[in-house]
Structure 1
Amino acid sequence: MSDAASLPDLAPLRDWFTSYCSSFRTSDRDVQRNFDLKEEHTRNVCRDALLIAQGMGARFEMLAEIAALCHDLGRFPQFRDYHTFKDSDSLNHAHLSAHVMKQHHLLDFLPEDERACIEIAVRMHNAFQVPEGLATVTTDLLRLLRDADKLDIWRVFIEYFNTPEEQRASGAGLGFPDLPGCSAGPLAAVTAGKMVQLSTLKSLNDFKLLQVSWIYDINYAATLRLIRERSVLERFQAMLPRDGEVPDVLAQVGRYLDGRLEQSAH
């Protein structure tokens, strides 16, 4: 990694992002609500990425902010062209984000090794797991981006479920039906301490369970502390059924979170 004494000014990149968002502006209120959702999400992921990266060095903090700013660029053309945020019904938004980044030469001001590092982090941020064999700094950046992304996706969904239906951003629920209970597949995955696969979901409650299972995929102690501070698990608990296996499964995730926090305190 280049460790230049003076850091490049990110103001032009931040300004570019603002105009990029504006270029999708539409008078269709429902569509605009989805674009606004992604613009706000991106800004929050930048904030959370910097919170997690604190103390990891100024250069790494800068890379974290750039990766966060670029990670969801593909969401805008995705929603414009397909009217969904569901990748399986459209295209891989992370690959599209990396393409938009290259198309606009957004990283030309960085050394080649840092450009490559950010491109991989953006392209892989939505993969089910972090791939093996990446350079250490790329792995660190990818893990950090995934943590920061999850932190704000939780906020998006908590707000979504607590907003009257007519005011919701239509793309946020990925089109899952609001059915009672949770399906056996997602419950079994969380019980086994695993992340829930998107392909096993049948309802909005399953989707909530999938997001709870992301707690098993957190990489940094700072993220774990933010999960606790923001009462993420408790808020999902309040939105999930209180019968059957669900309370036990959530209690198990709670114990896992406590254990990880305790570990990180030593």
Structure 2
Amino acid sequence: MDDATLSALRCWFRDYCRTFYTDNEDDNRNIRLKEEHTAQVCATMELLADSLALAPADRRLAAAVALFHDVGRFEQFRRYRTFKDSASVNHAALGARVLAEEGVLAGVAEGERRLIASTVGLHNVFRIPAGLDERHLLFLRLIRDADKLDIWRVFIEFYRQPAGERASAVSLGFPDIPHCTPAVVDTLLGGEMVDLATLRTLNDFKLLQLSWVFDLNFSCSRQVVRERGYVELIADMIPRQGDVARAIEVVRDALSPREPDSGAAGAVGRC
């Protein structure tokens, strides 16, 4: 993929997003949120690509994956009025289908086209499936980290906003009550990611977001989380009941600095 092809993909995405805006401001808040999220994920992907000193061709491929990772969210919201996959459709699979049906990647070489579509379709899986080759794994790990790094920002801003200014689909419908489900807390204590299906409250959802630190793949990603204070910002919004405080300490420990990623060529300083 050359620069001209990547530029054309960006133009298509911009025009595609415009087709989802309506006269309803609540609709537009939700669509705008996903368009802005995509822009931030693309910027974060550049940061990760720098940290790994990716070759120019791989940087462009990573940029295309970031651009399209949530392309299914727009049609999901238009059809179902929600971003909750379990109540609607798997947005990642829908995104891969949109790319195919719209012929978006027709000008991309076949191998890159398959990699982009497959990575988009898998970017939201709970656990990365076995059997993927190392190249596919690289781009899947990159988008999973870049996505999380901006979703933290999205939710922190959401929690801070007055109710009337929030994008309505963001909280996924969880009740905002001062309770944390013990099973969710126990999962964090075990250093594992929380499954969405186990959540009962908005505070559980915040704990799930904290558990994402256990699934970060690159030292640059962990550095970004530390520097932006995401764990503290979310943790401050969770009531300290039961073992919640101890679970948050487990999360903090998982962010401790580690050895730089192989092949980073010292570029981690950009993080």
In the other structure, the counterpart of 1:48 is: 44
Equivalent-residue separation in structure 2 for 1:8 and 1:59 (angstroms): 12
Q: Deviations over 1:143-176 (max 9, x none)?
A: 1000000011100000000000110000000000
Q: What is the TM-score with the length of structure 2 in the denominator?
A: 0.93
Letter in 1 for 2:21: R
In the other structure, the counterpart of 1:239 is: 237
Q: From the superposition, tell whether residues 91 and 120 of structure 1 become closer, same or farther in structure 2 (CA, over 3 Å).
A: same
Letter in 2 for 1:144: L
Greater RCO (Cα-Cα under 8 Å, separation 6 or more): 2
Of 29, 53, 57, the match for 2:25: 29
Superposition deviation, residue 187 in structure 1:
0.4
Q: Is the 8 A contact 1:118 1:138 kept in 2?
A: no
Equivalent-residue separation in structure 2 for 1:147 and 1:134 (angstroms): 17
Superposition deviation, residue 8 in structure 1:
4.3
Q: Is the 8 A contact 1:67 1:118 kept in 2?
A: yes
Q: Is the 8 A contact 1:196 1:213 kept in 2?
A: yes
Q: What is the TM-score with the length of structure 1 in the denominator?
A: 0.94
Structure 1 stretches of 4+ with a deviation exceeding 6 A read none
Equivalent-residue separation in structure 2 for 1:92 and 1:98 (angstroms): 10
Letter in 2 for 1:263: E
Equivalent-residue separation in structure 2 for 1:17 and 1:151 (angstroms): 21
Determine if the alignment matches structure 1 residue 222 to structure 2 residue 229: no
Q: Is the 8 A contact 2:219 2:258 kept in 1?
A: no
Equivalent-residue separation in structure 1 for 2:234 and 2:55 (angstroms): 34
Q: Is the 8 A contact 1:71 1:97 kept in 2?
A: yes
The percent identity for this pair of structures is: 45
Q: Which runs of structure 2 are paired with 1:54-73 in the superposition (5 Å)?
A: 54=50, 55-73=53-71
Letter in 1 for 2:208: L
SS in 2 for 1:188: helix
Equivalent-residue separation in structure 1 for 2:85 and 2:254 (angstroms): 30
Equivalent-residue separation in structure 1 for 2:261 and 2:145 (angstroms): 19
Equivalent-residue separation in structure 2 for 1:39 and 1:198 (angstroms): 24
Letter in 1 for 2:86: S
Q: Is the 8 A contact 1:73 1:97 kept in 2?
A: yes
Q: Which runs of structure 2 are paired with 1:33-112 in the superposition (5 Å)?
A: 33-54=29-50, 55-112=53-110
Q: Deviations over 1:49-88 (max 9, x none)?
A: 1111111111111111101111111111111110000001
Superposition deviation, residue 253 in structure 1:
0.9
In the other structure, the counterpart of 1:121 is: 119
Q: Is the 8 A contact 2:219 2:259 kept in 1?
A: no
Letter in 2 for 1:53: A
Q: Is the 8 A contact 1:41 1:152 kept in 2?
A: yes
Equivalent-residue separation in structure 2 for 1:215 and 1:201 (angstroms): 18
Q: From the superposition, tell whether residues 153 and 236 of structure 1 become closer, same or farther in structure 2 (CA, over 3 Å).
A: same
Q: Deviations over 1:209-245 (max 9, x none)?
A: 0000000000011111111111111111111113321
What's the C-alpha RMSD, in Å, of the aligned pairs?
Answer: 1.4
Aligned length: 260
Q: Which runs of 5+ in 1 are unaligned?
A: none
In the other structure, the counterpart of 2:268 is: none
In the other structure, the counterpart of 1:173 is: 171
Q: Is the 8 A contact 2:69 2:123 kept in 1?
A: yes
Q: Is the 8 A contact 1:42 1:72 kept in 2?
A: yes
